[in-house]
């Protein structure tokens, strides 16, 4: 049973560029949440996708957007990258958005130069 997978593992971009991060949820899960974790900080909730809709959003600018596909996989898009966007981006999946059984993927380390 595959867990949550994310790609790519690492990514280096320059300021102003855009980036696409990918997430496949754990088998049987239908909800994907995205988090940003800066060095030395706890994860910060970006948004959650359920039934291909953004259900809840944290305090992130519109430069951060996402999509969920019919197979429940999800992508996170970040436009006009800033140095401050450098972080570990975590995807977590659950069933019906239930945080009691939320599993995190290994993350994508994004470095913005």
Summarize as ranges the residues that interact with another protein (CB under 8 A): 33, 35, 40-45, 48, 55-56, 58, 90, 97, 99-107
For another protein, which is the closer residue by CB, 51 or 101? Answer: 101
Q: Which two tokens stand for residue 57?
A: 């959003």
For another protein, which is the closer residue by CB, 25 or 107? Answer: 107
Cα 64 from chain centroid (whole Å): 10
In whole angstroms, the minimum distance from the beta carbon of 11 to another protein comes to 16
In whole angstroms, the minimum distance from the beta carbon of 41 to another protein comes to 5
CA dist 113 and 72 (Å) reads 32
In whole angstroms, the minimum distance from the beta carbon of 107 to another protein comes to 5
108, 37 in Cβ contact below 8 A? no
In whole angstroms, the minimum distance from the beta carbon of 15 to another protein comes to 25
Q: How many CB atoms lie within 10 A of CB 105?
A: 21
Helix (H, G, I), strand (E, B) or coil at 82: coil
- For the chain, the 3-state helix, strand and coil shares in percent, each to the nearest 5, are 5, 50, 45
For another protein, which is the closer residue by CB, 66 or 105? Answer: 105
For another protein, which is the closer residue by CB, 16 or 28? Answer: 28
């Amino acid at each position: 049973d595959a867990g949550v997978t994310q790609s790519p593992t690492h990514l280096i971009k320059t300021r102003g560029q855009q980036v696409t991060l990918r997430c496949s949820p754990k088998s049987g899960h239908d909800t994907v949440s995205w988090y940003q974790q800066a060095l030395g900080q706890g994860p910060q909730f970006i948004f959650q996708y359920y039934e291909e809709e953004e259900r809840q959003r944290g305090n992130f600018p519109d430069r951060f957007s996402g999509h969920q596909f019919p197979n429940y996989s999800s992508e996170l898009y970040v436009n006009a990258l800033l140095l401050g966007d450098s972080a570990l981006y975590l995807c977590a999946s659950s069933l019906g958005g239930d945080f009691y059984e939320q599993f995190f993927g290994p993350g994508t380390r994004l470095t913005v130069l």
